[in-house]
Chains A and B, each alone.
Chain A
Amino acid sequence: MKNLGFGLGLRPDHYEAILSDLPPIGFFEALTENYLVPGGKPLHYLERIRAQYPLVLHGVSLSIGSTQPLNREYLKALKALMLRVEPHWISDHLCWTGTDGVNLHDLMPVPYTEEALNHVVPRIQEVQDFVGERILLENVSSYVSYKDSPLTEWEFLAELSARADCLLLLDVNNVYVNSVNHHFDPDDFLRGIPRHRVAQIHLAGHERQESFIIDTHDAPVAESVWNLYRLAGERFGAVSTMIERDANIPPLEDLLEELDIARRMTEMPAVA
């Protein structure tokens, strides 16, 4: 996948500033579901911004890990949006969002089992066949883990991406969050992910509780995540990187400054 440089999540608060100032941003990542609407303001702005910047789509409702059938209505709407705005790629999450017709609108964790692999891999292939390209799947934050989960998260992701021939969106914040919540070394995670599978990196903020971390996406990127991002840069090289802010949206300039940290970090020599 092409390296699009350093990007930001596209948020309505910034539409006007983006179009009036045309800031130097490598790409925007739009939340797919916000634009699966018949028309009006969201699509109006998305198309205008797409005319100026590279765009990728990031979904939350594919529910690739769910045991209910893939939602064909959703896939058709997704494909229609892809035809309309021609994203460089599309991504979603390795998770399930509901079963038996319910949508929890949350990124629920899958157990890292052979059964789950056998279930999810053909679904990824079905989606890729339908949209006509490889998709990216993101590692999600989680707060609980399953007893029956013999593989590590990174072993599961590596195996999944190999069998389904899909790509990965590495959320460095989520790696850090899970390393604290589930007591593993985040370096092991990074070392366990095949270099050639990582096509995009997410950076985000989190909220530390007494003994675990909540992935809030409502704060600047934490120092611990920047440190891990440096290691990710060493392992995966130059990969499209973006900051994802979903709440407490600051002015665009603040995010540009934060993005500059990522830019500078990849230009610095590796720490011995």
Chain B
Amino acid sequence: MRLQELQRAFQARVLLHQDGIGAELNHEDDIDFELRLDIYVEGYRTRLVEALGATYPVLQKTLGSEEFARQMRNYVDATHSKHYSVREYGADIAQWIKSRSDYGQAKELSELARWEWTLADVFDAHDDQSLEISALATVPAAMWPGLSFTLRACVRRFETRSNIVQWWRAANGLCDQPAKLIDGETSQWLLWRRGVKTFFRSLDTVEAPLLDAARRGSTFGELCEQIAPDIPDTEVALRSASLLRGWVAEELIADYLLPAENR
């Protein structure tokens, strides 16, 4: 058998339990030949389930190790790893759980998985500088309405209708454990990193759409217009500036663009 066929046959054994490779291997130890082959077959599944456990620790804790392993082995059998880094494996676990009609609380567990993937995404996002508040102080007042902003690469937004954030915090000893995962009111979250530490906090109904608009490239003037219907006219600029100052202090903003650069 040629090298390529040999590798395909071996891989088919690992992935699909097909038998073709057996004839190409020495059976000098017939007594344990299947055991030896199983090191590759089982090792593949064990390794990927362990990697998924590292990415989704609270999902694992919620399901219990045994059930998590059972479910993740099903996922591994359905989803081959294509990336050179095992860290990238399991990006679509949330979608996969959601599609499981046989799964109790699939929606909430899917949300939990999506939360943990987002945390992992923030953890090793690109390092970039955050904007210093002193840099904004040099911007002439006339240019402020046309000023726009670039958010740092680690900034992520998260929307959920479940109590999964509280659930996740409780699993990490940060608050009391909710009685169960529940589908409730929509909440908005912001996740980001300062240095090597990951942060998250909730966003209210004013700040959440404003931050989204800033990410899309809206100018400061447009941000002011966006919140105008919700607050008294005299407070619009002040409130917008206050939110912006907070974002800068929290290291959410990478840079600003002056109006001329923005055209």
Residues in chain A within 8 A of chain B (CB atoms): 33-34, 36-45, 61, 66-67, 71, 73-74, 77, 96, 98-106, 108, 110-111, 113, 115-116, 119, 143-148, 181, 183, 209-212, 214
**B contact face: mostly helix, strand, loop, or mixed:** helix
Knowing A100-B11, A108-B10, A211-B31, the reply to whether A145 touches B25 (Cβ < 8 A) is: yes
Contact B127 A102 (CB under 8 A): no
Beyond the given A44-B196, A105-B81, could you list 14 further A-B residue pairs with CB under 8 A, ordered by the A residue number? A33-B84, A33-B87, A34-B87, A61-B85, A74-B84, A99-B8, A103-B81, A108-B10, A143-B37, A145-B26, A146-B25, A147-B25, A148-B1, A210-B32
Contact B36 A212 (CB under 8 A): yes
Which residues on the B side are within 8 Å of A102 (C-beta)? 11, 15, 80-82
List 21 A–B pairs whose Cβ atoms lie within 8 Å, in order of A's numbering.
A33-B87, A34-B87, A37-B124, A39-B128, A66-B7, A73-B84, A98-B11, A99-B8, A100-B8, A103-B81, A104-B11, A105-B48, A108-B7, A108-B10, A108-B40, A110-B3, A119-B3, A143-B36, A146-B26, A148-B1, A210-B32
Knowing A99-B8, A106-B44, the reply to whether A37 touches B82 (Cβ < 8 A) is: no
Shortest distance from the beta carbon of A106 to any chain B beta carbon, whole Å: 6
Residues in chain B within 8 A of chain A (CB atoms): 1-4, 6-8, 10-11, 14-15, 24-26, 28-29, 31-33, 35-37, 39-40, 43-44, 47-48, 51, 80-87, 122-128, 153-154, 193, 195-196
Contact A115 B2 (CB under 8 A): yes
Q: Smallest CB-CB separation from B25: which chain A residue?
A: A144
Residue from A33, A40, A45, A98 in contact with B125 in the complex, judged by beta carbons closer than 8 Å: A40
Shortest distance from the beta carbon of B29 to any chain A beta carbon, whole Å: 6
Q: Smallest CB-CB separation from B82: which chain A residue?
A: A101
Which residues on the A side are within 8 Å of B33 (C-beta)? 144
**A contact face: mostly helix, strand, loop, or mixed:** loop
Which residues on the B side are within 8 Å of A144 (C-beta)? 25-26, 33, 36-37, 40
Shortest distance from the beta carbon of B23 to any chain A beta carbon, whole Å: 8
Which residues on the B side are within 8 Å of A143 (C-beta)? 36-37, 39-40
Shortest distance from the beta carbon of B146 to any chain A beta carbon, whole Å: 31
